[in-house]
Structure 1
Amino acid sequence: MPATLADAIWTTKSGSRSWLRNGALAVVGSLFVAACSQIQVPMWPVPMTMQTFAVMTVGMAMGWRLGAATLALYTLEGALGLPVFAGFSAGPGVLMGPTGGYILPGFILGAACVGYLAERGWDRKVWKSAVANTLGTLVLFVPGVAWLATFYAAADGPSIAGTGAETALGAAVVTGVVPFLLGGALKIALATAVVRAGWGVFNRLRG
């Protein structure tokens, strides 16, 4: 059995063709993440973008090395000025801003996490896929929250007053995690369903 869904869809031997295949998949994957980053779904308490859904899907479908490389390419594209970040934003300023930690290194680590588990068969069962995507989402949020907390801790940063928290880290959790829990759960479920559907199609075609 192929190690990942990408291996099942496009199998090649090692060598120059392998590099061509991996490069093509990385480009397509980065464009997929860029497209999903522009999608906003009205939700309570905040609108939901589809970025983390794309990150989890790419990581699980491609494995940890290619998944992480794809998100690194996506980050590089945005840093160089291509409008691939949410709201068609771009530039180093996004990565250095309050939400930059979610992208770098959050997206890369999240994709690597789910990709590592997928290569060990966690994408073959629904409940394991859901657990893998949950762990990947948590890994993604850790550097994002840590980076956001530094802005609350800075003397000229946003005030924690009104967040209901007493510390910079608490304020980062309140504003950078809690509003996105419902949307995060839905995206975990959707990423799980998409990859499982992909395996279903492959298994039916294989007979």
Structure 2
Amino acid sequence: MYTSKSNLRGIILCGIFAAVTAVLAQIEVPLPIVPISGQTLAVGLTATIIGSRYGAIAMVCYALLGAAGLPVFAGFKGGAQVLVGPTGGYIFGFIVTAFVTGLILEKTKHNLTMAMIANTVGMIITLIFGSIQLKIVLDMTWNQALAAGVYPFIVVGLIKAFLASWIGVTVRKRLVQANLIESKPTKKVAA
């Protein structure tokens, strides 16, 4: 059963991981249209460590902070124009990615193999969302959108998926041992 204490921990974790995402977003390798940044690593870490529900909430918080104008997106950018611009699809994808990645782990096991599978699925989701918005906003063909928004990120994405899996599983184990997060979320029981 969720208690107010575990809900408070969850809210705090959402804030922490939204902040981690904002910090890692500033680690970037510029490319012509879409930079390589630490954002996707942060999304994978978030989902692997705090799961689907809180992971998605953390990414919603991150997107809202950026939409409000705080410079939390890659390159210290902020504002709603980023969300509706060419790279906004990736940010919207982070929410779905965090939820699906966390859900896969909640339905299976929190081990390196399953985390790698879950984070790879998450990477694909993020790239799909990103390429769809690139195509629409920049009026690209599918081939152009994939060439600009997917292909350059596959190898780096797999490396980040591995890092998110390895670090995430390790950190999660420690947090469970310290009783800071639950090993498996339990359903809320009606009284």
| TM-score relative to the length of structure 2 | 0.84
Matches within 5 A, 1:52-91: 52-91=40-79
Flag as ranges the 4+ runs of structure 1 deviating above 6 A: 203-206
**C-alpha root-mean-square deviation of aligned residues, in Å?**
2.3
Q: What residue in structure 2 maps to residue 36 of structure 1? A: 24
Higher alpha-carbon Rg:
1
1:139 equivalenced with 2:125 (yes/no): yes
Q: Distance between the aligned counterparts of 2:69 and 2:14, measured in 1?
A: 18
1:148 equivalenced with 2:129 (yes/no): no
Higher relative contact order (CA 8 A, sep 6+): 2
8 Å CA contact 1:30–1:74 kept in 2: the answer is yes
Which of 167, 185, 191 is residue 164 of structure 2 equivalent to?
191
> Alpha carbons of 1:34 and 1:193: their partners in 2 closer, same or farther (altered >3 Å)?
same
Q: Distance between the aligned counterparts of 2:51 and 2:173, measured in 1?
A: 18
Q: Distance between the aligned counterparts of 1:196 and 1:15, measured in 2?
A: 24
Report percent identity of matched pairs: 36
Segments of 5+ residues of structure 1 without an aligned counterpart are 1-12, 154-159, 161-167
Q: Distance between the aligned counterparts of 1:98 and 1:203, measured in 2?
A: 39
Q: What residue in structure 1 maps to residue 187 of structure 2? A: none
Q: What residue in structure 1 maps to residue 149 of structure 2? A: 176
Q: CA deviation at 1:15?
A: 3.6
SS in 1 for 2:107: coil
